[in-house]
């Protein structure tokens, strides 16, 4: 399947944008809903490690973390000889 986060990133790139500045992940849950591993990696390709990621459920935003919190020791664009976001 293709999660909402990856679908949003694909649409962003198709529209000519290349940088994610903030993320909101919302689910039909009582607790905060974090992005899956595949979405975390895709976010890493288009977002800086300090980008805020808001985790929300039915009650609204429950917790805010950074991409670095969600994906420590991550593989990013800098390992491909490309400039990192920001």
For 5-26, letters b (16+ CB in 10 Å) and e give bbebbeeeeeeeeeebeebebe
Nearest to 71 by CA among 18, 5, 16: 5
- pLDDT for 76 equals 85
Nearest to 42 by CA among 16, 64, 21, 20: 20
pLDDT band of residue 84 (cuts 50, 70, 90) is low
pLDDT band of residue 53 (cuts 50, 70, 90) is very high
Secondary structure (3-state) at 73: coil
pLDDT band of residue 21 (cuts 50, 70, 90) is very high
Please say if the pLDDT value at position 82 is more than 70: no
Mean local confidence (pLDDT), 29-46: 93
pLDDT band of residue 80 (cuts 50, 70, 90) is confident
Please say if the pLDDT value at position 47 is more than 60: yes
- pLDDT for 2 equals 86
| Catalytic (active-site) positions | 5
Counting runs of H as helices and runs of E as strands, what totals does the chain give? Answer: 3, 3
DSSP 43: H
């Amino acid at each position: 399947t293709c999660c909402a986060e990856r679908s949003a990133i694909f649409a962003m790139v198709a529209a000519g944008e290349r940088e994610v500045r903030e993320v909101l992940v919302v689910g039909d849950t009582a607790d905060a809903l974090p992005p899956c591993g595949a979405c975390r990696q895709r976010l890493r390709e288009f977002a800086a490690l300090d980008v805020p990621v808001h985790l929300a459920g039915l009650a609204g935003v429950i917790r805010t973390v950074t991409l670095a919190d969600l994906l420590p020791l991550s593989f990013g664009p800098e390992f491909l000889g490309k400039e990192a976001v920001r």
